[in-house]
Structure formats: C-alpha cells, structure tokens
Amino acid sequence: MTSGLAILTIGFLLGMRHATDPDHVIAVSTIVSRERSILKAALIGILWGCGHTITIVAVGAAIILFGMAIPARVGLTMEFSVGLMLILLGVLNLTGAMRWLTQKFSPSHPKVTGDHAHVHEHNSHLHLHWHSHGPTGEHHGESVAPPARLRAPFAKLGVFHTLRPLFVGIVHGLAGSAAVALLVLSTIRDPRWAVLYLLVFGVGTIAGMMFITAAIALPFSFAGYKFAWLNRGLITVSGLVSLAFGLFICYRIGLVDGLFTSHPTWTPS
C-alpha cells in the first residue's frame, strides 16, 4: 500500500513536470496571450489539462487493459497534429484572427433569445443589464438576474474560450498518450493501479498547467493595462514562436521520422 501511494505521488509530480514540455507551454502561451485576467488564464490551463487528461486516460487505458497497439504511421500522425495545431495557433495570433474570434464570442456580448443582456457605457464604465422578452412582444420586461450558469467560473470564459483550450489539450494528449501508457506498463503490472496512475498523472498535469498559465498571464496582464505596445509585442512573439516550433515539429515528423515516406519510424516519447 505504501509503495502504491509512493508511485501515485511520483505520478502526480511527473504530471506536473509533463505540463512544462515546450510544445505545451508554447500552445497555452498563444491562448492566454490576450488574457488580462490571471484567474481566467488559470481556468484556461485547467481546461487544457482536462482535455489532455481525457485522451491520456482513454488511449492509455485502451493500451493497458486491451493491449491496443498503435501503428507507427498512426502514432506519427498524432504527433504531427500537434505541429499543425501550433502552426494554426501562431497564424491566428499573428493575423489578428484570434482577436476577432475572441471578440466575436466574448461573453460580454451574449447572443441569446428570451433573457438577454445589454452593455451600456456610463462615465467610461461598462454596465451589464439583463432583460427578459415577454411573449406578448413587449421589448423589455422586468429586469431579471443573470442565469446561474453564466455566474459559474467557466461560463465567464464563453463557449469559444472554453472549447479552444479543451480541444488543444485533447490534441496534445493524443501525441503523448502512447508514451505514458508504455512507461506505466513497464513499471506497474496491476492494470487497475496502472489506470489509476494515469488519472493521477492527469491531475498533476492539470495542476501544473494551471500554475503555468497563471504565470504566463502575469506579464500580459501587466503590459495590457500599462503598456499597450508591450502587450502587442508579447502577442507577436508568442505567435512567431508557436509558428516556428510547429513548422519544426511538422518537418521532423513528416520527413525525418518518415511520416510521408514508405518507411515511417516512430518511437513514443
């Protein structure tokens, strides 16, 4: 029992370290580069970690419990998708498309029927007012409180802000799931403990990414309020780094490891 708890503790710590992998940090830096709220940045990190954990546990459990084998070309394709994701995130940041999407799906301008919100500006301050449309066609009914689901922390991010890190985390989890599962298989013989290790590893990754995104958001938060030019510079740098690293991964996976050749070579890592 003691040795089992020690292994799970190591799994949690390794999960936190796993969150610091370069491709993970670069991906989340492009996502939080326009985020001025450290709390929201931390929530984005949690969502990324949840997406990552979903695929790590799903694919890893399939390998551990059912002996699923991943062909070399499939494994390389999963890693290649990470490079494509980094390229996409970099392009979105550099072209300003990320800003457009952020504004388009901003929770400050919800598009709903029935109960809805208006944003008014008074003396340089924004005020959010909720209204209800009655069935008789009257324009404004009595003011109502915002729905409880919009008061939840994750709801404040909006649909786009919630799904984006979750999806990116899922893609990154696909790339690393085989390596983690094979490592577990080589050290833990009991399948139940092995799957539990994957869950604890995922929780560690979530915790590590939460702290990382909060730390990354600090300079963006400071620069956004004090120095707009510095904020734009940080956004540009994060986009360029993501684009360059994504191109490097695609080149390595596609040509060096042979994804686009007749003899692919894949070592889970």
**The predicted structure's pLDDT at residue 152:** 53
pTM of the model: 0.77
What pLDDT does 52 receive? 96
Predicted pLDDT at 126: 44
Can you give the pLDDT at residue 182? 83
Beta-carbon contacts of residue 161 (< 8 Å; ≥ 6 apart):
40, 44, 102, 105, 107
> Which pLDDT score, from 0 to 100, does residue 225 have?
61
* Per-residue confidence (pLDDT) for residue 85, from 0 to 100: 94
Question: Across the 269 residues of the chain, what is the mean pLDDT of every consecutive 10-residue run?
Answer: 80 94 92 82 94 94 90 93 94 80 55 45 46 46 45 61 90 89 84 92 96 87 68 86 96 94 87
